[in-house]
Structure 1
């Protein structure tokens, strides 16, 4: 009597026999596998072995690009965050600020937020990891704010003399503070208050009229 046919599972599949991906395709597969693993097991239990298996890659290919879990997770986070060079264009300063911060808040509520929370906790008591996290900062939030404010200046909504780097970083800094101290989800009301009570007053002359 013949034995019943055995079902092949993912664990039985040798990723080395899959079509080989290279360059950007391989990198995208690895970053998406990282986010999927984060969503299932969280940052603390994330392993390079599982990410490599899920992406159909070798551990060596991961370690060549990302020396540690910190770099891998930071790249995965940036992979899904909104494009800093093309923030929403709603036609108004307030609309752009709110839309941009809501997009970030939405990402922080998913695996990317879990990853950021894990990385920050991991780096808190480890100077080496903290240095690596800082070195990975790309200034994306600052870049998106510069573009939003540039458009607002052209529309006459913003006083050019009120635009400083410190003021540009205020909105996202408050968003991060809320994320770190109160977690997710970040209510829309918080984002509205950051825009109305902080960002817009900082970028306009008293009375709300640009010079």
Structure 2
């Protein structure tokens, strides 16, 4: 990490060491614009985790209807474009957030009845967590009038469960 005093403001309001004021020098300053020998820009690892946590927190605090992508981005400390690059809509974000929150359903049986019972109990327990229940109810409610979101829910949530119940043997979520 560069330890010299930061005394100048560069692009996007980033503080620069006085030696890194020129564009051709910026790429050599690890910790200012990214790693010196790695990919330029800020590190991207963990962005999904941060966005998912901010999504659930925002839904919990403001309710599903007021949890806009803009508010989620602010809560996560990322740009809206960071979110829209990964998820084309709030519905897509919420579905992936829920899949992440639920994690793999513990499947200890091969009986379809027991599997369904386990899945229902697992989901019921998860929706009691802050933000999860409101996000779950909200995304399903939105899907009533949004065919694209219905397709996302079908593809990402329903189809894996149906596949599992008809002979696939990996956890549906």
- 1:112 CA displacement: 2.2
Please name the residue that 1:41 is paired with.
62
Alpha carbon RMSD of aligned pairs, Å? 3.4
Per-residue displacement from partner, 1:133-153 (whole Å, max 9, x unpaired)?
334336443466578x97xxx
Structure 2 residue 135 is matched with structure 1 residue 112? no
Q: Which runs of 5+ in 1 are unaligned?
A: 1-15, 151-168, 170-211
Contact 1:82/1:104 (<8 A) preserved: no
Please name the residue that 1:102 is paired with.
121
Per-residue displacement from partner, 1:114-149 (whole Å, max 9, x unpaired)?
2121112112123333334334336443466578x9
Please name the residue that 1:22 is paired with.
44
Which of the pair is proportionally richer in helix?
1
Per-residue displacement from partner, 1:54-74 (whole Å, max 9, x unpaired)?
212111110101111110100
Structure 2 residue 122 is matched with structure 1 residue 122? no
Contact 1:31/1:76 (<8 A) preserved: yes
Partners of 1:132 and 1:145 lie apart in 2 by 20
Which of the pair is proportionally richer in strand?
2
Contact 1:82/1:103 (<8 A) preserved: no
- TM-score using structure 1 length: 0.50
From the superposition, tell whether residues 62 and 134 of structure 1 become closer, same or farther in structure 2 (CA, over 3 Å).
same
- 1:52 CA displacement: 1.2
**Number of residue pairs aligned between Structure 1 and Structure 2:** 131
Partners of 2:135 and 2:118 lie apart in 1 by 23
Contact 2:54/2:75 (<8 A) preserved: yes
Of the three residues 89, 109, 113, the one matched with 1:68 is 89
Contact 1:73/1:115 (<8 A) preserved: yes
Partners of 1:120 and 1:98 lie apart in 2 by 21
Tell me, what secondary structure is at the counterpart of 1:57? coil
